[in-house]
Amino acid sequence: MKVFCGRANPTTGSLEWLEEDEHYDYHQEIARSSYADMLHDKDRNIKYYQGIRAAVNRVKDRGQKALVLDIGTGTGLLSMMAVTAGADFCYAIEVFKPMADAAVKIVEKNGFSDKIKVINKHSTEVTVGPDGDLPCRANILVTELFDTELIGEGALPSYEHAHRHLVQEHCEAVPHKATVYAQLVESRRMWSWNKLFPVRVQTSLGEQVIVPPSELERCPGAPSVYDIQLNQVSTADFTVLSDVLPMFSVDFSKQVSSSAACHSRQFVPLASGQAQVVLSWWDIEMDPEGKIRCTMAPFWAQTDPQELQWRDHWMQCVYFLPQEEPVVQGSPRCLVAHHDDYCVWYSLQTTSADENAKVYQVRPVCDCQAHLLWNRPRFGEINDQDRTDQYAQALRTVLMPGTICLCVSDGSLLSVLAHYLGAEQVFTVESSVASYRLMKRIFKANHLEDKISIIKKRPELLTSADLEGKKVSLLLGEPFFTTSLLPWHNLYFWYVRTSVDQYLEPGAVVMPQAASLHAMVVEFRDLWRIRSPCGDCEGFDVHIMDDMIKHSLDFRESREAEPHPLWEYPCRSLSEPQEILTFDFQQPIPQQPVRAEGSMELRRPGKSHGAVLWMEYHLTPDSTVSTGLMNPLEDKGYCSWNPHCKQAVYFFSTTLDPRVPLDGPQSVSYAVEFHPLTGDITMEFRLADTLN
């Protein structure tokens, strides 16, 4: 059965109705899940197994039957561990029906159907009693309900309900306890992900400074955590202001509360500086003695960094204080962790009782529009002075006396640069309420409200009246649009350029003048694990899960690229970067598809996990901005990626493990096609025959 789904096309900007298979959403969910990553997390698996075995033994030592409740069972792995450890029976709860069906098959394949009952319900819907899902309350509670923030997947409400209705008082819990840790730091790099810095522009009249509006300065910022691979942030990028502080713990063997709470920890600053950012992570203790411990701590907080476990399903957290505050070395302060049932946030307080009694408990919400429009990498991109200088230099070469400029990007400062660098008149199109309000505030703060005209509408709907009957001599874009996920989605700029063609004067300059799509075959250090079959996991056969993921990938995902910020995921190039397609923005979009076929020679030995793709924008013949590779490759192929952009990764369906043959190297062939009608880019990669 087919169903029609409406979606906004990020490349063309149009609303489309697509015919999709009725199981499309299900396949998307499975294909993009982190099940493979979790199953490959050996540290997690071993610690859970040890903790479950210890809990079962404690119950048996008391002369009781071991009855296990496993909430969020997924593949059924933890339930099978429990039965293998000696549990008498296990009730495995899984709300996602396709996953529950898979768990039933996995449990059966491994021979545990007589000891494990899979229940396809949310745990809050499970009943206990003679006619219920469970005949009686369980005395061992096993869960894996955690996300990077610990509580973001609803762990607290789930535990709260389980203790009230599903498990015995003083039950054993695996994990037994979780502790959230925090460390206060000063970091210009990370703070640039949260606040707009003054932007400097060198003009013929001297330096001009674009200042942020006061509303943005006062704004507490976005309420959501920024979860990243903190191990990829250099310690040179931040100054430690506090020791690692245990902020709060949750004992999962006792009644848990999901009510809002705050936890204050006094500390003595290790150095003087500006308190800006809180780095946070958690660990879980699988047993009451705390001997079996699994930690998410970054490398500098590990006792043995050499044994650091890579994982992507759990990372580390970056939180931003509502405002930066000075701290003085040796003068005590208090860091306060607040949380509701799903979110955590932080504030800094003095040590006086009066102040701590007034701890701000309301979750911060953006009121300046900037954090609604710009995500954290976009803040960093706008604050990148080198990038601004590159755009300014390119603008100087194209601005002429009498230039009428039209800026087409979401919440871009290019319109301000064009004005300061001499454009006679500047129009900027802002299609969303957030971008319109933000730009109004920025222009007002810089006394430009009468100098730059904001047009609030979609750029395709522009009229001559919007442009005051004038012809545009410079069409300008970064290009950046908030709807873009994959690098080529910003080709929306080309569609806009085509739709406003009638308003461009003859010989009008379009900047960027062109774009090119680049690709490179890579070997990932760790990211390959999210797509790698598991097969056997701690002695249990989970091939059914592998087949399920592969089937969903084959449904569509295996033929598509997905966005990843590769500065967080190190990789090594096996081929040289190669230009695949070019797009000439000086001309309207062609009617026919643009297709390229070729091959990328594998010059370095290694495992070919996939191809990385990115866009480069050619502002002028002498100036190019890359959204991907930033520097020439080293001899060994180690890559440096643009930290403000996500690159596209096309995972090969089968990992290629090339051996350099005697008669020449191997290559990966490609066929890539841009479809102007839909804005899609389709691609296929395969291992080519040995080159002669």
Contact 295, 289 (CB under 8 A): no
Contact 260, 336 (CB under 8 A): no
Amino acid at site 418: A
Cis before 288? omega within 30: no
Which parts of 431-488 fold into alpha helices (H)?
433-445
Secondary structure (DSSP) of 368-385: SSHHHH--HHHHHHHT-H
Q: How many residues does the chain have?
A: 692
> For residue 541, what are the CA distances in angstroms to 97, 284, 535?
20, 26, 6
Can you tell me which residue has the tokens 């080198």? 386
Query: 163: part of which helix (H) or strand (E)?
Result: helix 155-165
Q: Give the rounded distance of the alpha carbon of 256 from its chain centre.
A: 30
> Cα angle at 224 between 123 and 571, to 5 degrees?
95
> For residue 6, what are the CA distances in angstroms to 18, 413, 503, 524?
6, 32, 31, 35
What DSSP state is assigned to residue 140?
E
For the question of residue 144 being annotated catalytic, the response is yes
What DSSP state is assigned to residue 102?
H
Print burial letters for 474-507: b (CB count within 10 Å at least 16), e (below 16): bbbbbbbbbebebbbbbbbbbbbbebbeebbeee
Cα(12)–Cα(149) distance, integer angstroms:
36
Going 259 to 260 to 266 to 267, the CA torsion angle's sign is positive
Cα(97)–Cα(486) distance, integer angstroms:
30
For residue 84, the tally of other CB atoms under 10 A from its CB is: 18
Exactly one of 144, 160, 285, 523 is catalytic; name it.
144
Contact 425, 401 (CB under 8 A): no
Cα(590)–Cα(102) distance, integer angstroms:
47
Residues 6+ apart with CB under 8 A from 514: 582, 583, 584, 585, 586, 617, 618
Amino acid at site 197: F
For residue 290, the tally of other CB atoms under 10 A from its CB is: 12
Cα(254)–Cα(156) distance, integer angstroms:
12
For residue 4, the tally of other CB atoms under 10 A from its CB is: 9
What DSSP state is assigned to residue 575?
B
Exactly one of 20, 153, 424, 449 is catalytic; name it.
153
> For residue 514, what are the CA distances in angstroms to 97, 495, 527, 581?
47, 13, 32, 11
Question: Are β-strands 425-429 and 404-408 bridged in parallel, bridged antiparallel, or unpaired?
Answer: parallel
Structure tokens at 553: 């990938």
Q: Active-site positions? A: 144, 153
